[in-house]
A and B are shown apart, each in its own frame.
Chain A
């Protein structure tokens, strides 16, 4: 992400996967969830489609049977920062590893007509911006990106996707969510500012619902 006079910008090549219901098992298969690290998932993004063999955690990309037909294996898409999908992107498992894999690959924004709830939340905690657009607009974007590699430029403050020099699409996103990406806020720090309120709530709850606190 970079900053200019207009604010924070995500710009780069748009890759696309033209199918509905891309679940988090597709974004990163369970095998790679065995890692106890928070980083290093880039080579396993879309593993089942990106390679022609069965991968294992720790095996290097160079030693894999690459599926040359898959978009992310071809230049300039290997450098993609924006990913275009369709309906219900990121449905399924709650694994945050799915967002970590997108982030580690370099994807900074995912555009789709709808997202799985848990995935959508996980994105903002890792600096990946999920953008919801109406189906007509998704169709329009697919028409643009399918014939040749194109770059979009997304202005976070203005909530605008610049498709080219003249065309743009506005998008909506809750301010508190996008602020987390713009300012890199940490949720634990924010919530702990309310420590006293949480303690008071807990004190009252211990009295009103004692069965929750058996050994305390």
Chain B
């Protein structure tokens, strides 16, 4: 009896090294401008070439400005240092012959958004990228994980990752959630439950009736945030929903696709397989979740009390105190007491078409609150942007007072012009509320696109109706 992770591990296992570690064959390697330059440099120094060019797909996302419009090229980036990095990716991809969806491409976007939607992420693959949110691709039944720059170089050079096997964790989400609850709420709730180190050393398989009933986009949000629970790998067995999704996106010919589908339909954990750890969560009781502190585990019900040093255990007092101070929480007892300055809808967690549709439905015919100085919507890719514009979502957002941007990582992290100013409070659909993550001294509250839309309209974390 084997788990899905065990099967994918064995399927890609090349050999065991003297050290006890294994070489795991990598099917797909995504690259972006931030974690690749030093890897390409290392490759050149060793006089090596990429082992299998076709395995690699690159796109710039972290540094790209989201107000660039059409015909914008890398060398037009105003921030000189960002420009060097994006231009370096152009140079490296040209020099080594790696396929890149560059800044001018209508298919450019956040690497974890474009991979699946362009058909490069397929069930059963091993996928790596120098970015911890690579776990996203596990939503299609892949063994996908984030790696460091040394490993990027290693994968380019050998087509393998040198790793030890992880432990298996099963997380079953059962039941039907309340209307205003999305997969972002479910995964935030889960992180609050097990903590940001709860999944360390594990590959988490998400299963259960809730998972079976949700879209691939919703599944991606859950696997994306597995790393916020400490797990490098989050994955979901492929099913009909997966195969329908892949069929729609795939560039494979009919014969190859049919052969693949036969394999994918049987790719799942055996009945009776043993996991090292299991959780069962009843999702019907979960309310919309919003983080209040500086770690994704610092999360409460949107209408719940913010923890104080008085009502927590002794060894957690200091963490709570530090987080409250950083977040500028004084006498406020509830999240709804906090006044927001900015709203960000985007990131590899929540910038897909489904996310934008949900948010648009809330803001339709309404106006962004006066205290919100900036509310931005950043589609995850050129394709998402096109689709949204075709559906008129951009118009809905604009009319409500949002700014409609070009694809990129944007305000998820402070590497491009979209940043918080010191002490600004932001309702964000991204994945990390770490100190300074969205800009120096900025204050991040993680939530679903739905809750972010409500916050934009209300100016505070409001009652979903």
Residues on A lying within 8 angstroms of B by beta carbon are 18-21, 23, 25-26, 29-31, 33-38, 48, 54, 57-58, 87-88, 91-97, 99, 114-118, 121-122, 125-126, 174-176, 179, 187-188, 190-192, 194-195, 197-198, 201-202, 205, 209-216
Contact = CB atoms under 8 A, between A and B. Distances in A.
A114 to B, nearest CB: 6
A37 B160 contact: no
Nearest to A114: B197
B199 to A, nearest CB: 9
A212 B27 contact: yes
Contact of A25 (B54, B263, B435): B435
Contact of A216 (B19, B37, B52, B146): B52
A88 B200 contact: yes
Contacts of A37: 38
B159 A211 contact: no
For the residues of B in contact with A, the DSSP-based class is: loop
B230 interface: yes
Contacts of B148: 94-96, 99, 118, 121-122, 125
Contact of A33 (B34, B41, B122): B34
Nearest to A91: B196
**Which 10 residue pairs across A and B have the least CB separation, nearest first?**
A176-B19, A36-B37, A96-B148, A54-B440, A122-B148, A88-B197, A94-B146, A125-B150, A94-B132, A25-B434
A202 B24 CA distance: 11
Given A94-B146, A96-B35, A215 B54 contact: yes
Contacts of A188: 42, 46, 48, 153-154, 157-158
B131 A94 contact: yes
Interface in B20-46: 20-21, 23, 25, 27, 34-35, 37-38, 41-42, 46
B54 A198 contact: no
B434 A58 contact: no
Given A23-B434, A26-B434, A201-B25, A192 B157 contact: yes
Contacts of B230: 88, 91, 116-117
B263 A30 contact: no
A176 B196 contact: no
A116 B23 CA distance: 21
Contacts of B263: 209
Contacts of A215: 54
B180 to A, nearest CB: 28
Given A198-B158, A202-B52, A34 B63 contact: yes
Contacts of B38: 36-38, 96
B256 A194 contact: no
B54 A214 contact: yes
Contacts of A97: 149
B14 A197 contact: yes
Contacts of A202: 25, 52, 159
B19 A179 contact: yes
A88 B124 CA distance: 30
Contact of A94 (B51, B147, B414, B432): B147
A87 B35 contact: no
28 contacts: A23-B434, A29-B436, A33-B62, A34-B415, A38-B41, A87-B197, A88-B200, A88-B230, A91-B196, A93-B132, A94-B147, A95-B34, A117-B201, A117-B230, A118-B146, A121-B151, A125-B150, A174-B164, A176-B18, A188-B46, A197-B15, A197-B23, A198-B51, A198-B158, A211-B256, A211-B257, A212-B122, A213-B54
Given A94-B131, A122-B150, A211 B432 contact: no
B256 A198 contact: no
A19 B88 contact: no
A116 B200 contact: yes
A134 B17 CA distance: 29
